[in-house]
Amino acid sequence: KLPLAEALHEKALHTDAAMNKADWMTALAGCLGIVGIGLGWWWADSVAAGVISLDVLKDGLGNLKGSVADLMDQRPTTVDRAEPDDEIVERVRTALEGLDWVEAAEVRLREEGHLLAGEAYVVPRTEARLVERAGDAARYATGLDWQLHDLVVVPVRSLDEDRDRRDR
């Protein structure tokens, strides 16, 4: 399930696969504890129980952290939540900058469950038909990836000025 979860970028499937892996690992640790007792090591079962409890605690804390981050609409991350996934952000930025009327672009995305939403700030070369072009650009960008559900294209005069205004 793990390779499939990564290919589909499906965090629920990844969590299920990790839990399945944890299940067989804890079962193996329990079996080793029982075998240890059979060999005369009276402490083997306690050690196995300690290892199992630490693993369950680690998984629980990791899943709690991931769930809270998902509720906060964080920036896109890899399926295992280990690091930011800026690949789609860069693809959208490059695609928008490839439009003949866009001089520069900056893209900010956030995860909303399985889907991504965000804003794209574009510096237009010309203001002709700006509203129509911004709408077309948003539809074009959302077609780049199945996860990209909603993108608002905002024309700005300069990315630096807009960045300063948003940082206040």
> pLDDT digits over 19-70, tens only?
788 888 888 888 888 899 899 988 988 888 898 888 888 888 887 887 787 7
Mean pLDDT confidence for 78-103: 85
Q: Decide if 148 contacts 92 (C-beta within 8 A).
A: yes
For position 166, what pLDDT does the model report? 56
Q: Which pLDDT score is estimated for 126? A: 87
The answer to whether residue 165 scores a pLDDT higher than 70 is no
Give residue 134's pLDDT.
Answer: 92
Instruction: Could you list the beta-strand ranges (E) of 125-162.
Output: 148-155
Q: State the pLDDT at residue 162.
A: 53
CA 42 to each of CA 28, 36, 104: distance values in angstroms, whole numbers, following the listed order: 18, 7, 69
pLDDT of residue 161: 63
Q: How much is the pTM?
A: 0.63
Sign of the Cα pseudo-torsion (39, 40, 46, 51, in order)? negative
pLDDT: which is higher, 106 or 115 = 106
Of 10-14, 72-76, 77-81, 91-95, the range with the highest mean pLDDT is 91-95
